[in-house]
Amino acid sequence: IMSVNKILEHDLFFSVEEGTEIHQGLNQLESKYIKYVYELARFNQVRAARLLGMSRGTLRTKLKEYFGDYYIL
C-alpha cells in the first residue's frame, strides 16, 4: 500500500491538470485523499473519519459532495 505522503506527493505534481484554478486543484486532491483513506479503512466511515481527523458527519458530507451516493452506505 502506498503511503499517504507518497500519494499526496504524486497527486500534487501529476494529477492536477495544468491551468486548473487552485481551489479546484485542492478539491481534486482532497477527494482523492478521502477516497484513498476510505478504501484503506475498508469503507468503515468511523475509522476513515478518525484517520482523516474529521467527524463522521463531515466525512459523509464530503463523500456525498465528491462522489454522490456511490460511497454512502
pTM over 0.85: no
Let me know: does 63 contact 71? Beta carbons within 8 Å.
yes
Average pLDDT, the chain: 81
Could you give the CA distance from residue 2 to residue 6 in angstroms, rounded to a whole number?
Answer: 6
For helices 22-40 and 45-52, angle between their N-to-C axes, nearest 10 degrees: 130
pLDDT at 73 (0 to 100)? 67
Which tens digits make up the pLDDT trace of 35-56? 999 999 999 999 999 999 999 9
Mean of pLDDT values over 7-31: 68
pLDDT at 21 (0 to 100)? 72
